Amino acid sequence: MKEEKMEIEEKIAQLRKLREEAKVGGGTKRIEAQHAKGKLTARERLNLLVDAGTFEEIDPFVTHRCTDFGMAERKFLGDSVVTGYGKINNRLIFASSQDFTVFGGSLSEVASKKICKALDLAADSGVPFVAVLDSGGARIQEGTDSLEGYGEIFTRNILYSGVIPQISVVVGPTAGGAVYSPALTDFFFMVKGLGQSYITGPEIIKAVTGEEVSLEELGGAMVNATKSGNCHFVYETEEECFQQVRRLLSFFPQSCQEKPPFIDTNDDPNRVDEELLHIIPANSAQPYEIKKIITKVVDNGEFMEVHERFARNFIVGFARLGGQSVGILANQPMYLAGVLDIDASDKAARFVRVCDCFNLPLVTFIDVPGYMPGTDQEFRGIIRHGAKLLFAYTEATVPKVSVILRKAYGGAYIAMSSKGLRGDINYAWPTAEIAVMGPEGAVNIIYRDEIKKSANPEETRQRLVREYRDKFANPYVAATRGYIDDVIDPRETRPKLIKVLRALQNKDVCNPPKKHGNIPL
């Protein structure tokens, strides 16, 4: 009996020793080197991500199986990724965090297997997955085993897309094909100065095209956030970044099977706001900040903007209305007068789809003069890209509510959650102008001869513009036909939206049976 006891104690001591070994990954020197670069370790990052003390690691004893290039003697417990589960705001998530201290976080066959296991468990349990990326890419010594490992991860990112929320946090190099995992997930976070994402690096670019570019200019966080639009969120520090990942998930249900969580925000659902009368300038050619309207309407003025630095003529983000999570979309008159262009269409369509996947109602604020004219947009495919937005709004089955604030002209009026595209409730402020095109353009076309022949063409043109404006530049023509469900007092926008979202909360519609739609990509 005494001997048996000794044996189990020895085993426990061995387990403790192995755990301690696993915790230091590639060793204390490499941890120091990681800190010296201003980067946190894989485990420190997971601790920032989850509620204190909730992370449970799985697969800490896995090691690689490569015997080439002297690798048989170079093994580290857990290999190059930490995986497991924990809680965010008391709700379960699964996560992986690449460990740069082990072969630069490079993806081995077993590292891929660990990530895939965690992804499978997340999908099977219906909970979100967060991947933290800091890696030199495919494990060079393992060749195709490593490349296939990427394929396995991509497959899961794709099959679980729309099933569970998937978030990528890039806090180190993510190069080559490896960057397609963040691109496939719902949200892509980066930290300035740490995250780098590109397909081919500066050296290859120089060899092939002769172009010279630095790593930061090519694939730094700001480039990915502003130019390519690959990345949705950029932060200065890792601490802030993980805090915002936690905030983002608070708007989401655990999976597509659930409704988003209700949070009592303590903001009066019947709150009216006098200032809403004074944000839109009297002159309809003048810009204003649409976010002033959004923050006055939503609970406690809290709006989490997504894709803030990309396609700034269109705003998307998350907020709560009466405690209910919603996706907000809006034209931004401060940039390009709020026109719809290629990037805005891509940004908005993707946002509509992520909300629809996870049962978040869509609330759309409209002030759109039309589509961006010009050969640049036409040649780059505004038709194809613009079509994505029509497709996304129409296909979405979540409650869809809109408010036309000012301009809603032409095809852009239709694209913005209109009744024709299955908008559920379409409100307008009395300041709304709804027509095929703006008064100036319309008059020049339909009264061209009359203006030319008149004794005083300019006076005639101005009179006709006034008449056209009186007839069409208001919400009542559309309201008489039921395209607008009601014209509302701007001050009452918040209570009206909250009431109608509650009325629509059990909306249940299905699209016609099909394998899948064919959104124009």
Residues lying near ligand HXC in the complex (CB under 6 A) are found at 30, 103-104, 106, 136-140, 147, 150, 173, 175-178
Nearer residue to ligand HXC within complex by CB, 1 or 36? 36
Q: Read off the tokens for 508.
A: 């249940």
Nearer residue to ligand HXC within complex by CB, 61 or 69? 69
CB of 255 to ligand HXC, least distance (A): 27
Q: Under a CB-based contact definition with an 8 Å cutoff, are residues 424 and 399 in contact?
A: yes
Query: Which of 406, 399, 390, 231 lies closest to 330 in space, CA to CA?
Result: 406
CB of 202 to ligand HXC, least distance (A): 11
Contacts of residue 236, defined as CB under 8 A and 6 or more positions apart, other chains included, come to 191, 192
CB of 150 to ligand HXC, least distance (A): 4
Return phi, psi of residue 4, to 5°: -60, -40
Query: Which of 231, 137, 246 lies closest to 185 in space, CA to CA?
Result: 231
Query: Which of 62, 84, 78 lies closest to 27 in space, CA to CA?
Result: 78
CA dihedral 262, 264, 270, 274 (to 10 degrees): -110
CB of 486 to ligand HXC, least distance (A): 52
Nearer residue to ligand HXC within complex by CB, 178 or 478? 178
Residue 171 has a CB neighbour count (10 Å cut-off) of 27
Return phi, psi of residue 53, to 5°: 75, 10
Beta bridge partners of 421: none
* Helix locations, 24-106, DSSP H: 28-36, 42-49
Nearer residue to ligand HXC within complex by CB, 230 or 426? 230
Nearer residue to ligand HXC within complex by CB, 99 or 341? 99
Nearer residue to ligand HXC within complex by CB, 106 or 345? 106
CB of 350 to ligand HXC, least distance (A): 22
Exposed, middle or buried, 52 (CB in 10 Å: 0-12/13-18/19+)? exposed
Residue 357 has a CB neighbour count (10 Å cut-off) of 20
Q: Under a CB-based contact definition with an 8 Å cutoff, are residues 48 and 132 in contact?
A: no
Nearer residue to ligand HXC within complex by CB, 103 or 371? 103
CB of 275 to ligand HXC, least distance (A): 51
Name the residues annotated as catalytic.
Answer: 176-177, 411-412
SS3 453: helix
Q: Under a CB-based contact definition with an 8 Å cutoff, are residues 157 and 182 in contact?
A: no
CB of 17 to ligand HXC, least distance (A): 23
Return phi, psi of residue 73, to 5°: -90, -5
Nearer residue to ligand HXC within complex by CB, 139 or 400? 139
Q: What is the DSSP letter of 107?
A: B
Q: Cα(314)–Cα(291) distance, rounded to whole angstroms?
A: 11
* Helix locations, 37-143, DSSP H: 42-49, 109-125
CB of 209 to ligand HXC, least distance (A): 18
